């Protein structure tokens, strides 16, 4: 299974792109709605990617933990549900419930939000501070499916700690790894290499 790396657009200290997206029940959620007083973790995710499935429970646990620090979480599904029905809205409800995701799980049907963030894969993680500035983009941790390492969220947890305590961010975070975003035909961003 190929791994792809992010990111192509955002840089440390850059402002979080805005979004206004529906959840699986049609409720509209904006970036401002989703953000906590101390920050926002934006996760591009889907239901079928083995990388997402592998860490989904640990992500739910981490989201509850960082919410106590005022950092909220939102997941955004950018995949082409027409071609990949397992990533459709009905399955999103089941997936979020199964993995105890207590945060919004939104649908990026146009894929414009994924493009704005420069997301490359699922999962892909972007951590913003309370002013909406990018503090971290990179992997959840060093675990991978079949790696023998249980998901623990170490890299992301450390990034939140540093951000919350006003310390310098990780100097060279390891990029996210996962399944490539399933772009709609002809909707691939200009930086996308369809050979990945």
pLDDT at 13: 80
Reported in sequence order, the residue ranges of the chain that DSSP labels E, i.e. its strands, are: 20-22, 28-30, 39-44, 71-77, 105-107, 121-122, 124-129, 134-138, 179-180
| Torsion (CA) 156, 157, 162, 163 in degrees, nearest 10 | 70
Question: Residues 14-38: pLDDT tens digits?
Answer: 899 999 999 998 999 999 999 999 9
Q: Pick 9 or 66 by higher pLDDT.
A: 66
Q: Which residue has the higher pLDDT, 126 or 190?
A: 126
CA dist., res. 157 & res. 164, Å (int):
10
Could you tell me if residue 153 is left (phi over 0), alpha (psi between -120 and 50 degrees) or otherwise beta? left
Among the listed residues 91, 3, 89, the one whose alpha carbon sits nearest the alpha carbon of residue 51? 3
Q: Can you list the domains of the chain with their CATH numbers?
A: 20-180 (3.40.30.10)
Residue 8: pLDDT band (50, 70, 90) is low
């Amino acid at each position: 299974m190929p791994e792809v790396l992010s990111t192509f657009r955002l840089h440390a200290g850059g402002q979080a792109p805005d979004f206004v997206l529906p959840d699986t029940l049609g409720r509209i959620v904006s970036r401002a709605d989703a953000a906590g007083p101390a920050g926002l973790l934006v996760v591009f995710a889907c239901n079928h990617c083995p990388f997402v499935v592998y860490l989904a429970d640990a992500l739910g646990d981490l989201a509850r933990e960082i919410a106590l620090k005022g950092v909220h979480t939102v997941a955004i599904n950018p995949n082409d549900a027409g071609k990949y029905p397992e990533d459709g809205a009905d399955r999103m409800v089941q997936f979020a419930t199964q993995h105890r995701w207590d945060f919004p799980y939104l649908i990026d049907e146009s894929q414009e939000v994924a493009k704005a963030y420069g997301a490359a894969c699922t999962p892909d993680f972007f951590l913003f501070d309370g002013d909406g500035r990018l503090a971290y983009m990179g992997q959840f941790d060093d675990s991978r499916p079949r790696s023998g390492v249980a998901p623990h969220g170490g890299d992301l947890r450390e990034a939140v700690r540093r951000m919350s305590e006003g310390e310098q961010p990780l100097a060279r975070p390891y990029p996210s790894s996962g399944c490539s975003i399933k772009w709609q035909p002809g909707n691939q961003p200009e930086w996308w290499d369809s050979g990945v």
